[in-house]
Amino acid sequence: MTDNHRHESHPDIIKRLKRAQGHLASVINMIDSGRPCLELAEQLHAVEKAIQQAKRVLVQDHIEHCLDAAIGPLEPDQQSRIDEFKAIARYL
């Protein structure tokens, strides 16, 4: 699938991933420099969190904006269930 699929959240996701990329480059330099393992672990944690948050924003945005288009019009009771799913998915 190669359609141009963009959301308002994509610039934020790119920013988060670039931050992770910078942290990862820093970790590589720190390893080359022989920095202590605690410092390495802290920086790797920052990389992991930045990627996790980028993924979270992407998935949540997809649920919010693409699910309704994929499903189409629903009866009020069915829409209520979809709305509840969207709400609970924010806690993932």
d(CA 29, CA 44): 12
d(CA 81, CA 75): 10
- Kindly report, residue by residue over 6-55, the tens digit of the pLDDT: 778 899 999 989 989 998 999 999 999 999 999 999 999 999 999 999 99
Quickly tell me which residue has 């308002």 as its tokens. Answer: 8
User: Residue 90: which residues within 8 A CB-CB, separation 6 or more?
Assistant: 60
Q: Torsion angle of alpha carbons 83, 87, 89, 92, nearest 10°?
A: 180
CATH assignment of 10-89?
1.20.58.1000
User: Residue 51: which residues within 8 A CB-CB, separation 6 or more?
Assistant: 16, 17, 20
- Kindly report, residue by residue over 62-78, the tens digit of the pLDDT: 888 888 888 888 899 99
Q: Is the dihedral of CA 3, 8, 81, 91 positive or negative?
A: positive
